[in-house]
Structures are given as structure tokens and as C-alpha cells.
Amino acid sequence: MTSTATELTVAAWPEVAPRLLRPAQVKAEELADYAQAGGYHPLADPDALLEQVDLSGLLGRGGAAFPLGTKLRTVRDAGRRGVQTVIVANGEEGEPASVKDRWLLRNRPHLVLDGLRLATATINASRAYVYVSDEQSAVAVNSALSELDAQVFGATDVAVISVEPGYVAGEETAAVRRINGGPAKPTDKPPRPFEEGVSGLPTTVSNVETLANLPHIHEHGAQSFRAVGTPMSPGTFLATITGAGRPAALYEIPHGAAFSELLTLHEVPKDSVRGVLMGGYFAGLVNTDILDATLDHETIRRLGSGLGCGAISILTDDCPVAVAASVMSYFDRENAGQCGSCFNGTAAMAAVVSALRDGAATQEDITRLERWSVVLRGRGACGTLDGATNVAASLLRHYPQLITSHLANECRSCRTGAFNELRPYEVEAVGHE
């Protein structure tokens, strides 16, 4: 079985009006169509918009789920002390199992730019950047920018910055470092970008999907934004769904929707599911407890995981131990090579999980893996090592019986041909181009 998708289904959630997706699109959205639908609505009061963003409870869609209003307000306040500010729309989609950012940038570039325009106004940024690693996304955004009148962004300079794709390249300090002329690798914190970012100025780095929600809040208000979702996880989110032997799909899901409903929409039998890989690779594995869960931050956190970037890989025939081994090996290859704890820690954990998959691990190996999954957490300049510890810890917590069967080399799935992918559940297709 190959994990690389060659097709992409794009669909809204049943009976929920989409805010970000346009499933029936046959080509990338142009300025005339976007403006006719109400895009680039004039902004009279940036402070009032920021208040609505606060009230909306909009959380970041890049992985950390940090409140956008807080992020914008912090940099805005720095600007009011006489310092110039910068904003970065982060579209460098480092998670191979995620496709949402590329889809938005290629197909709805004006929605992203409109969100960037509104965020730029709230912090009075002197410069704005769209940061991407996908060539077609860069082409689409530059084409959209060429359609705009100069007054749309006013005196703010807007540029598209392209970077070689990589798991760590989308980390916020890596984006800042690349825009500043360095390599796209994370830096130690503090300072964080809101303190000292592009050119040493206070900088907001926000995911493109997060920004794409701002036009709805601007036009309809916070109460409308909260009309779907949960009190703690308002609005919709874009979810990339892979695995289960099905073509990849991009759905716009209301927070709080039942995972079982997602299985029905994606045509996956509930009794075939062994678990999921959550949040791309970062948030680790969840066992069949996911079957009774709802898709919101508070519920998924209680399962010891997270929604992350919204990528969900459904495990049916694939053994969770073998999937974990492939993901851990990916982290070992993709780490920035800057921090000894990450460079050595990912390699050591990947070796143990790979040996477990192959029936060659010992109980002493598992004991070491348990210790590493705790003591290595929080080390390094970025979240790569945390992602690896999440995978290790979640495998040990959610699949103890599988651990036992692999120690005895009794896994039927792995003995007949273990899942082994360089980039598990990678999504290549993104729809209209």
C-alpha cells in the first residue's frame, strides 16, 4: 500500500456553510469573483476589528492554537511605542500529511491576502510577507497581488518569500531567520518574533488559514464566527484526511463535530479503525478512544493529543507501531541538526521504535524509550524533538498490547510486510492548479 495520495477530495461539512473552502471551484479564484462576493470590504476602524477578533476566540490554525487577537495586540502595542512592526503570513506547510495551506494559497489567494490586509491594518505593519515553499503557491499569490490596486495595502510593502520545503522551515523563528537572509532553521527563544523578529522589529507570524478567517469576522462579526464550533474552539477548521486506503480529502469541519461523523463522510467503516495519527506527525497517536471523541481542542487534549494543523491520518490496515517507526525516522532525517539533544534524541528513539517494528527490541529498549519520551521533551530550539517524544509517549500509552506483541515478534501485520514510508501519508495533490 502506498501512502502518497494521487487524488484530493475537497468538501464542506454537511449542512454547514463553508467559510474557507469553495468545493465547486474549477479554477483559482480571481479578484473580480472574490470582490463580487464581498471581499476586500473597507476597514474603517482597525481597533474595532481587533476587539471582534478577541471576542471571536479565533485560535491559530498552524498547530499551536494560540489566540490570534493576543498575538496581534502584543505587536500592535509595541508599534504604538514608536517602533515599526512586521507581519508574516506563514504558508510553509512543513507537515507532509497536510495540504490545507497549499490549497488556500493556490485556489483562494485573495482570501489569504484579504486576511493579511486586515491583520496588517490592526498592527499598522510597515511590511508584510507571504512565506511559502510551494512554487505554485508563490505564483498564485504573486498573480493575485498584481491584480490589486496600491491602496489595498496602502503604504505597507508586501513581498512573497520562497524557501526550500522542510519540516522545520515553517517554524516561526525559522521563517524570520530566512526573511532576514539566513537559513530557514529555528533559533533559540527568547527572543520570540513578537519581541524581535524581521529586521529586529516586533513581528507577528501567523498561519495563512488563521488569517483567512479574518474577512468573515470583519464582515459578519464575532458572534457569527462563533455560530459554529464550541465555546473554547469556535469556528471551523480545515482538516486534511489521509489513510484508511482512501484518497486524501480536505474538509472544512466545525469544531465539535463527532469523529464518527467524519468516518461516515470519508466512507471509512468504524470497526476497521485502529486509531489515528493526529495533527500531522506532531501530536502523536490516539487509539480507538478517538471513535467516541469530538474534534475540538479541549476534547483531543483530554486524549493526550492535539488537533495541531488539522491533519488526521486514519489507521486501519497499517500497524500503529510501524507507522510510529516511519514517523520517528522522518524526524531523525528532518531535524535541523543544530541541537545535540534533538539530533541524538530523535535518532535514538527512531532506532528503538524501528527495532520494535522489526521484532528486535528488548524490554530494556522500551524502558529507555519511556525515559527519553519524558526527559527529552522541551529541549531544542523548535518543536521537532517534542513531536518525536509525542509519538513515542503516545505509542507507549495507547498501544501497550501491541508493544508486548512486537517484543515477542508476533505482529501479524508487520510479519507480512510492515508499513514503511519515508513520508507517511504524504499528500501531493492539492486540487485546482
User: pLDDT tens digit string along 336-359?
Assistant: 999 999 999 999 999 999 999 999
Note the pLDDT of residue 1.
30
Tell me, yes or no, whether 291 lies in a domain: no
220 shares its domain with 97: yes
Pairing outcome for strands 257-258 and 203-207: unpaired
Instruction: Determine if residue 181 is left, alpha or beta; phi over 0 gives left, psi from -120 to 50 gives alpha, anything else beta.
Output: left
Query: Does residue 315 contact residue 273 with C-beta atoms inside 8 Å?
Result: yes
357 shares its domain with 211: no
CATH of the domain at 363: 1.20.1440.230
Note the pLDDT of residue 429.
67
CA distances from 407 to 257, 344, 372, 415, 418 (A): 37, 24, 19, 13, 15
Residue at a domain's end among 191, 225, 259: 225
* 248 bridge partner residues: 8
49 shares its domain with 193: yes
User: What is the total count of domains within the chain?
Assistant: 2
220 shares its domain with 324: no
Angle in degrees, CA 131, 135, 140, rounded to 5: 80
Please name the amino acid found at residue 207: N
Please name the amino acid found at residue 371: R
Report DSSP state, residue 13.
Answer: P
Note the pLDDT of residue 4.
41
Cell numbers for 3: 501512502
Per the structure, the complete domain to which residue 390 belongs is given by 320-415
Note the pLDDT of residue 405.
97
Note the pLDDT of residue 242.
98
CA distances from 339 to 185, 187, 230, 409 (A): 11, 10, 39, 34
Report if pTM > 0.85.
Answer: yes
CATH of the domain at 129: 3.40.50.11540
For the chain (length 433 residues), average pLDDT per consecutive 10? 60 96 84 95 97 98 96 95 95 96 97 98 97 97 97 96 96 98 95 97 98 98 98 98 97 98 98 98 98 98 97 98 98 94 96 98 98 95 94 98 97 94 90 49
Burial class (CB in 10 A: 0-12, 13-18, 19+), 365: middle
Note the pLDDT of residue 127.
98
Tell me, yes or no, whether 96 lies in a domain: yes
Q: For residues 413 and 404, what is the distance between their CA atoms, to the nearest angstrom?
A: 14
Note the pLDDT of residue 82.
87
Please name the amino acid found at residue 121: A
219 shares its domain with 331: no
31 shares its domain with 177: yes
Radius of gyration of the chain (CA): 21
Note the pLDDT of residue 6.
52
Note the pLDDT of residue 430.
67
Q: What is the largest CA-CA distance in the chain?
A: 68
Note the pLDDT of residue 320.
98
The 10s digit of each residue's pLDDT in 1-10 is 333 445 799 9
Q: Which of 294, 289, 304, 291 is nearest to 229 (CA)?
A: 294
219 shares its domain with 325: no
Note the pLDDT of residue 7.
77
